[in-house]
Structure 1
Amino acid sequence: MCRWLAYSGTPVLLENILYRPRHSLIDQSLHAKMGVETTNGDGFGVGWYGTSGTAKDTPAVVREIGPAWSNRNLREIAGHVRSHLFFAHIRASTGSAVQQTNCHPFRHGRWMWMHNGAVADFQRVRRDLVLAVDPDLFLHVEGSTDSEVMFYLALTYGLADDPPGAVARMAGLVERVGHEHGIEYPLQMTVAVTDGLRLWSFRYSSQGASRSLFYSTRVETLRSLHPDLDFLREASDDTRLIVSEPLGDLPGVWNEVPESTYGVVQPEGDAMFSFAPALPA
């Protein structure tokens, strides 16, 4: 499987989040504690938005096939790029090739997507799923992963207008096709998706035993718990991190996302809702 993080809030140097925490994502690339694999060295990617924060922004995406822990270019980028919203992902392949086009995050227009988990027996169901992708969108599929197909299915089912509904319809199709092929538990996913203004995250699996996912406590609460942390004095109240596993062990910082749940980080206030697949029309 994989590890990932999504950041939204006060513009910050990427290195402050990717490298400096005790159990940073870079540390997790070698020493993950909650993933299926301890080592996540089959590529990595970062994607970030500029500081204007408008709906017209498209994210920059850098993806490489080597491990994150030794990549000098990633270290260079992280020390110079500042963003209010960025994704980072370290990959452990579930069977698809280790190649640049299979690394997360995936981008289409202003949208970014990353995933931890798997479509079970993907090679058996791949043809049926790919045929459901809108033909115009299919032209943009570059790699061979289940994660990218999931993204383009969500785009097909209306991600631009209704992200939770589109992801639910994508999950519903994956489960329906999987069951038609005799697969008992077709889908395992934690997903992050953003348009550069809002950030949605989803935790779901057909078996009801999803991969780990956590969100950070509100900043004003963290300031009262940890008044000695310089970063918290600079962070806005709406700063939020969503992670596959906690970046450290400070008390009160991390909260587990409940099973079969999605959340949205947005200017008008964060919210969390139950999540269930829905059959597409």
Structure 2
Amino acid sequence: MCRWLAYSGTPILLEELLYKPKHSLIDQSLHAKFGVETTNGDGFGIGWYGVDGPPSPALFRGIGPAWGDHNLRELSHAISSPLLLAHIRASTGTPVQQTNCHPFRDGRWLWLHNGAIHEFAKLKRDLVFAVDPALYPSIAGSTDSEVMFYLALTFGLKDEPVAAVERMVGFVEEVGRAHGVAQPMQMTVATTDGNRLWAFRYSTEGKSRSLSYSTEIRALRELYPENEVFQRVSDETRLVVSEPIADLRDAWLPIPESSYLVVQKGADELGTFRPRKA
């Protein structure tokens, strides 16, 4: 399917996450260990917030494989961000085109997804018709992931992120049942408004794709005093990943099945994810 990461914390050069780690996201585009596919070459994207720039995030997306994109490598040397989402795509059937590359953006919000709505073509009409008419013109691509984003926005993502995603999933499952699709939802999702970061792990069948987050930086400094990155980032820094980008013992914690994580100033929040009626 896909691989992704989400970073929040001390401003960091993109290359520190995308290229430098031993099992970086670029390495995962060729050699994913935990994904359905080993190779994720159907496009890529990065959404990031500037250190001192405008409040809305910037996007850079391409339809080629991430490992061969020279512009991505050049940008990664120069761009520093305190909050970013990055994604490498393995299509589940929709075309390889820029509008189908993650992250997706609406105002200050970014969204990315790994997984699928099973039998999406069968459910698509009912799902798309439920999107707020004011939001519908903003749907530019043909993926289930983008429809999920606009359904979540329709159900209140900007006011109650966790509840909105629970309503979105509940609605997809309701439509799935109506069309005889028993296990419609498979997802790990990251979304952010530029201040907080939300990550979700859920599937109807209870066998969700992998998702982990980084151990507290204070603990990592003690475990790996020679790691220069750990020494200079703040205690608030967190990384959420489809699969670990470095083989560091005790550096990663799994997000449990049917759970959500909120990365925010102060204590982060880990809670149970329960689909609800829209």
**TM-score tier after normalising by the smaller chain length:** over 0.9
Given residue 136 of structure 1, which amino acid in structure 2 is its aligned partner?
A
1:164 matches 2:162: yes
Alignment partners' CA distance in 1, 2:191 and 2:208:
18
Aligned to 2:125, what secondary structure does the other structure show? helix
Aligned to 1:88, what secondary structure does the other structure show? strand
Alignment of 1:133-172 (within 5 A): 133-172=131-170
Alignment of 1:217-256 (within 5 A): 217-256=215-254
Alignment partners' CA distance in 1, 2:165 and 2:182:
20
- Out of 243, 261, 271, the position equivalent to 2:259 is 261
Aligned to 2:97: 99
Task: Note the alpha carbon deviations across 1:30-89, whole angstroms, 9 max, x for none.
Answer: 000000000000000001001149xx7100001100000010000011110000000100
Given residue 263 of structure 1, which amino acid in structure 2 is its aligned partner?
L
Deviation at 1:268, TM superposition (A): 3.0
Q: Is residue 236–residue 266 contact of structure 2 (8 Å, CA) maintained in 1? A: no
1:36 matches 2:57: no
- Out of 187, 191, 194, the position equivalent to 1:193 is 191
Listed as ranges, the gaps of 5+ residues in structure 1 are: none
Q: Is residue 7–residue 84 contact of structure 2 (8 Å, CA) maintained in 1? A: yes
Deviation at 1:269, TM superposition (A): 2.0
Q: Is residue 166–residue 275 contact of structure 2 (8 Å, CA) maintained in 1? A: yes
Task: Note the alpha carbon deviations across 1:149-198, whole angstroms, 9 max, x for none.
Answer: 00000000001100000000000000000011101101000000000000
Alignment partners' CA distance in 2, 1:150 and 1:269:
28
Aligned to 2:78, what secondary structure does the other structure show? coil
Given residue 193 of structure 1, which amino acid in structure 2 is its aligned partner?
T
- Out of 55, 59, 79, the position equivalent to 2:57 is 59
Q: Structure 1 runs of 4+ off > 6 angstroms?
A: none
Listed as ranges, the gaps of 5+ residues in structure 2 are: none
Alignment partners' CA distance in 2, 1:268 and 1:238:
7
Aligned to 1:262, what secondary structure does the other structure show? strand
Aligned length, in residue pairs = 278
Q: Is residue 5–residue 239 contact of structure 2 (8 Å, CA) maintained in 1? A: yes
Task: Note the alpha carbon deviations across 1:191-219, whole angstroms, 9 max, x for none.
Answer: 00000000000000000000000000000
Aligned to 1:79, what secondary structure does the other structure show? helix
Alignment of 1:268-279 (within 5 A): 268-279=266-277
Alignment partners' CA distance in 2, 1:181 and 1:224:
53
Aligned to 1:222, what secondary structure does the other structure show? helix
Aligned to 1:175: 173
Aligned to 2:110: 112
Alignment partners' CA distance in 2, 1:183 and 1:80:
46
Aligned to 2:206: 208
- Out of 64, 82, 90, the position equivalent to 2:80 is 82
Q: Aligned residues: percent identity?
A: 62
Given residue 77 of structure 1, which amino acid in structure 2 is its aligned partner?
L
Given residue 18 of structure 1, which amino acid in structure 2 is its aligned partner?
L
Aligned to 1:227, what secondary structure does the other structure show? coil
Given residue 30 of structure 1, which amino acid in structure 2 is its aligned partner?
L
Alignment partners' CA distance in 1, 2:97 and 2:84:
22
Deviation at 1:12, TM superposition (A): 0.5
Alignment partners' CA distance in 2, 1:128 and 1:166:
18
Given residue 24 of structure 1, which amino acid in structure 2 is its aligned partner?
S
Task: Note the alpha carbon deviations across 1:97-144, whole angstroms, 9 max, x for none.
Answer: 000000000000000000000000000000000000000100100000
